[in-house]
Amino acid sequence: MKTDLKEICKDIRCDIMTCIGHLGVGHIGGCLSVVEALAVLYFQEMNIDPANPQMPGRDRFVCSKGHAGPAVYATLANRGYFDKAELLTLNQGGTHLPSHCDMRLTTGIDMTAGSLGQGFSCAVGIALGAKLEGDGAKVYALVGDGESQEGQIWEAAMFAAAKGLDNLIAITDYNKLQIDGPVAEINDVAPLDEKWSAFGWNVIEVEDGNDVEQVAEALRHTHLCADSGRPTMVILNTKKGCGVKWIEDLGAGNHNTKVSEEQARAAVAEIRGE
Amino acid sequence: MEMRAVYASVMAELMSADKHVCILDADLSKASGTHKLYAQFPQQMFDCGVAEQNMASIAAGLASYGFKPWIESFTPFATRRICDQIAISVCYARNNVKIVGTDPGISAELNGATHMSMEDIGVLRSIPGIVIFEPVDEVQLRAAIPVVNAYEGPVYVRLFRKETPVVFGEGYSFDLFKADTLREGKDLSIFVSGMMTADAVKAAELLAAEGIDAELINVHTIKPIDRETVLASARKTGAVLTVENHNVIGGLHSAVLETLAEEKIPVCAVAVPDRFGEVGKIPYLRGVMGLTVENIVEKAKRAVSLK
């Protein structure tokens, strides 16, 4: 297993570009913004075994912003859950890799998501289950900033704090953009830190959520929250489309975008710094 | 005995036997009859407060972790309010969650239209993978709950929670996927569900006195409907009446019509017309909605006349 997180992020980014480029279209912006979080979770933080994906007591990951499926698949493939060649089947008829994460189709996926808000509640339920079993499993949930406009997110936030689920670590991909425009203009979720804090959560904010060292440091810091009696929210200030200039420049237009194979090849070269 | 008391006592037995069986509430455990179980099973009872969407998805998460969660609320909040959570977190993800909706249709009485779900079966019936079960009496309920718990997959239990006449006798044997023939007959088939079953029994007796020999079948599981029994009876008698405490659109009537779509058999209905509910006690609401023994007799004759 590779350990250089910066290199791992490059690999994951390149694989995202390649599989979405092969397909021709995809949720590229919100995939590229979460790469660092996924790399740190799957290559450093989580107690998992790709050879035994159903290992009892393993840590769980729920991608509540289910449309980041391709980013999760690229991470799983790099971590050894399945062959990288399978990434090219993304969204093809009969694939095991659909747009949105599906626990019944994909090896290594712990929860189905796609209808925003629900995955986060499911993660809370998993964290409650782990507490009841007393197996020491931690549960990580990735939430979108646009997704945080869903009322269900806050229902779940309230419940997780009320039940003292300190084995739950959530991550907000705060890239500030949603389909229709800037989050601040559509229906502002700020101040996220104060909201989560007011809901009874530990809050850690990361200035640059696409700096893998900062993300790694923040997730190491969550270890201190293990017996705090509170769930923990890590807010990552990220850039939607991070790592590929023309996609970053599309702004809110990069949510679900056409990507040609030629553009994907150029992006891979850009990511590799060639 | 109240239906909710029967339900709670069987759930207590199941929770004692299996620590993975658990109940989640949305501030209505008193209505569901399970409130007192909180003291007895503190590790298996969870009140989510007034947040049904969260409750449904939390249950899905628990199910994915090997638990057997039952969620409870009033019928409208256990179905139409959380339709998407049932569709995606529960059914699409194939998470083993049981859903109990109390006070179906007119039995919501004084809570009125907002709490009076006439459409819950219709809302859920087009979601793949869900089983929809509506118990008739305490005998059937007592037999059914362990079977529903043992079934691997989502089940909606449409639970009339108060006292209701006993229809089934001693020795009753329950099969979740098999309709119960209460009376054999040759002139028409009456397919009935839930609280209307006792009324249909009376109606069949009145019809018999007038020389009409009705076959009476309790369709306790509306989805998947027992096609074999429905088809065999309808073909035998050549006339059908459906009787239910639900909107005429989307419930038992629709399920029977779909089953008989290729048969040349008249199918009449006693059901709530396509309208919302209103406040009132059950006898008043029966009159308003046409859910009476007299209307069953009248519509049965109509079905026979159409043969």
Which run of H or E residues covers position B156?
strand B155-159
Per-residue model confidence (pLDDT) at position B160? 97
Radius of gyration of chain B (CA): 19
- Give the domain ranges of chain B: 3-159, 180-305
Q: In the structure encoding, which two tokens stand for residue B172, read together?
A: 């009753």
Could you read off the pLDDT of B52-101 as tens digits, one per residue? 999 999 999 999 999 999 999 999 999 999 999 999 999 999 999 999 99
Could you read off the pLDDT of A188-200 as tens digits, one per residue? 999 999 999 999 9
Q: Which residues pair with A171 in a beta bridge?
A: A142, A234
pLDDT over 70 percentage in chain B: 100
Q: Which residues have CB under 8 Å from B195's CB, separation 6+?
A: B104, B105, B107, B136, B160, B164, B245
Q: Which residues have CB under 8 Å from A34's CB, separation 6+?
A: A65, A68, A71, A142, A173, A238
Residue in chain A closest to B46 (alpha carbons) equals: A163
Q: Quick one: three-class SS letters along chain A?
A: CCCCHHHHHHHHHHHHHHHHHHHCEECHHHHHCCHHHHHHHHHHHCCCCCCCCCCCCCCEEEECCHHHHHHHHHHHHHHCCCCHHHHHHCCCCCCCCCCCCCCCCCCCCCCCCCCCCHHHHHHHHHHHHHHHHCCCCCEEEEEECCHHHCHHHHHHHHHHHHCCCCCEEEEEEECCEECCEEHHHHHCCCCHHHHHHHCCCEEEEECCCCCHHHHHHHHHHHHHHCCCCCCEEEEEECCCCCCCHHHHHCHHHHCCEECCHHHHHHHHHHHHCC
User: Is residue A216 over pLDDT 90?
Assistant: yes
CB pairs under 8 A between A and B: 103
- Please state, in angstroms and rounded to a whole number, the distance separating the CA atoms of residues A164 and A43: 27
Report yes or no: B59 and B71 within 8 Å, Cβ to Cβ. yes
Q: If we measure between CA atoms, which residue out of B44, B72, B77, B65 comes closest to residue B145?
A: B72
Contact B62 A121 (CB under 8 A): no
Strand order in the sheet with B240-247: B180-183, B214-218, B188-192, B240-247, B267-272
Contact A129 B67 (CB under 8 A): yes
Residue to substitute from A112, A122, A147, interface B, most B β-carbons within 10 A: A122
What domains appear along chain A, each with residue ranges and CATH number?
5-272 (3.40.50.970)
Cα distances (angstroms) measured from residue A45 to each of A59, A92, B253: 9, 32, 55
- Model confidence pTM above 0.95: yes
Query: Which chain A residues are Cβ-neighbours of B47 within 8 angstroms?
Result: none
Give residues 59 to 88 of B whose Cβ lies within 8 Å of A: 59-67, 69, 84-85, 87-88
Contact B84 A132 (CB under 8 A): no
Report yes or no: B58 and B26 within 8 Å, Cβ to Cβ. no
Report yes or no: B104 and B98 within 8 Å, Cβ to Cβ. no
Residue type, B64: S
Q: Hey, what CATH class is B180-305 in?
A: alpha beta
Q: If we measure between CA atoms, which residue out of B266, B242, B239, B236 comes closest to residue B254?
A: B242
Low-confidence residues in chain B, pLDDT < 50: none
The complex scores an ipTM of: 0.95
Give me the residue label for tokens 């409208």: B76
| Most distant CA atoms of chain B, gap in Å | 58
- Please state, in angstroms and rounded to a whole number, the distance separating the CA atoms of residues A30 and A66: 10
Report yes or no: B166 and B1 within 8 Å, Cβ to Cβ. no
Identify the band that residue A274 occupies on the pLDDT scale cut at 50, 70 and 90. Answer: confident
Q: How far is B45 from chain A (nearest CA, A)?
A: 12
In eight-state DSSP terms, residue B92 is: I
- Please state, in angstroms and rounded to a whole number, the distance separating the CA atoms of residues B168 and B260: 27
Give me the residue label for tokens 């980041």: A68
* CA contacts within 13 A on the Cβ side of A271: 27
Could you read off the pLDDT of B204-227 as tens digits, one per residue? 999 999 999 999 999 999 999 999
Query: Which chain A residues are Cβ-neighbours of B43 within 8 angstroms?
Result: 132
Could you read off the pLDDT of A149-179 as tens digits, one per residue? 999 999 999 999 999 999 999 999 999 999 9
Identify the band that residue A27 occupies on the pLDDT scale cut at 50, 70 and 90. Answer: very high
Q: How far is A159 from chain B (nearest CA, A)?
A: 7
Query: Which chain A residues are Cβ-neighbours of B53 within 8 angstroms?
Result: 117-118, 121, 151-152, 155
SS3 B217: strand
Please indicate whether the domains covering B3-159 and B180-305 agree at the CATH topology level: yes
Q: How far is B248 from chain A (nearest CA, A)?
A: 30
- Please state, in angstroms and rounded to a whole number, the distance separating the CA atoms of residues B146 and B284: 35
CATH number of the domain located at residue range(s) B3-159 in this protein: 3.40.50.970
Q: In the structure encoding, which two tokens stand for residue B152, read together?
A: 């691997």
User: Is residue A46 over pLDDT 90?
Assistant: yes
Contact B57 A129 (CB under 8 A): no
- Please state, in angstroms and rounded to a whole number, the distance separating the CA atoms of residues A127 and A225: 15
Residue in chain A closest to B57 (alpha carbons) equals: A122
**Helix-, strand-, coil-residue percentages of chain B, each rounded to 5:** 45, 20, 35
Rounded to 5 degrees, φ, ψ at A43 are -110, -5
Report yes or no: B182 and B201 within 8 Å, Cβ to Cβ. yes
Q: In the structure encoding, which two tokens stand for residue B103, read together?
A: 């006070």
Q: Which residues have CB under 8 Å from B36's CB, separation 6+?
A: B8
Report yes or no: B93 and A111 within 8 Å, Cβ to Cβ. yes
- Please state, in angstroms and rounded to a whole number, the distance separating the CA atoms of residues A200 and A162: 8
